[in-house]
A = this chain, B = another copy of it.
Amino acid sequence: VSQREAAIYSAAVRLFRDKGYHATSVQDLADAVGLQKASLYHYIRGKEDLLLRLTRDAIAGHLEDLAAAEVSGGTGRQRLVRLLFAHVRRICANSDLLTVLLREAHALSPPAQEEVRRLSARYQHGLAGVVVDGVQDGSLTVADPALAALALLGAVNWIHRWYRPEGRLSPDEIAAGMIDLFLHGLAPAPSAREEEMQE
């Protein structure tokens, strides 16, 4: 990737994040990198292709984290903790990119959407697999691992909507706080599970 290409990608992330994919015109992109509209087409195939690449890159990073966690040693719980840390760090470092991924993927063509969906599902299943591992090796206890994985994913992905670099908590503090919550819950030590189930 040339320098120009990198500039185009990062401008695209920022613009798509700020204005949205559809509201960002090719002219906006050209202005942001100091080129004419037509010149952009030496570097990109088209506006949608640009979004697709961004989207793919975003997921690819998370899949790398997943792979690293999967091959790392220790109990399932330890691997889950490592994965969540990596996930939160990546989100905080690239929150614009995740915003674009989650908000604009539906602007892609059906086949591209399908690809994104497949890659996302792979990550989700990997995460669930780590939870299952923890259950099997006794380091985790959970009634519905798939549901737990979805809850975890939602909680951490939501971070991109509120995280601010200058905020109260650093990425690692956010990760630690969430992991603590997920592992030990909100209830004080021994609790009667029955009562709160009835609304």
By a beta-carbon cutoff of 8 Å, the part of chain A in contact with chain B is 19-20, 22-23, 77-78, 80-82, 85, 103, 106-107, 131, 134, 138-144, 147-148, 150-159, 161-162, 169, 174, 176-189, 191, 193, 195-197, 199
Contact = CB atoms under 8 A, between A and B. Distances in A.
Contacts of A85: 199
B77 A186 contact: yes
Contact of A191 (B22, B153, B183, B197): B183
Contact of A188 (B82, B139, B150, B182): B139
A180 B166 CA distance: 33
B148 A159 contact: no
B174 A182 contact: no
Contact of A142 (B148, B156, B181, B196): B181
Contacts of A197: 81, 176, 179-180
Contact of A23 (B107, B131, B134, B154): B107
B169 A158 contact: no
Contacts of A184: 185, 187, 191, 193
Contacts of A81: 196-197, 199
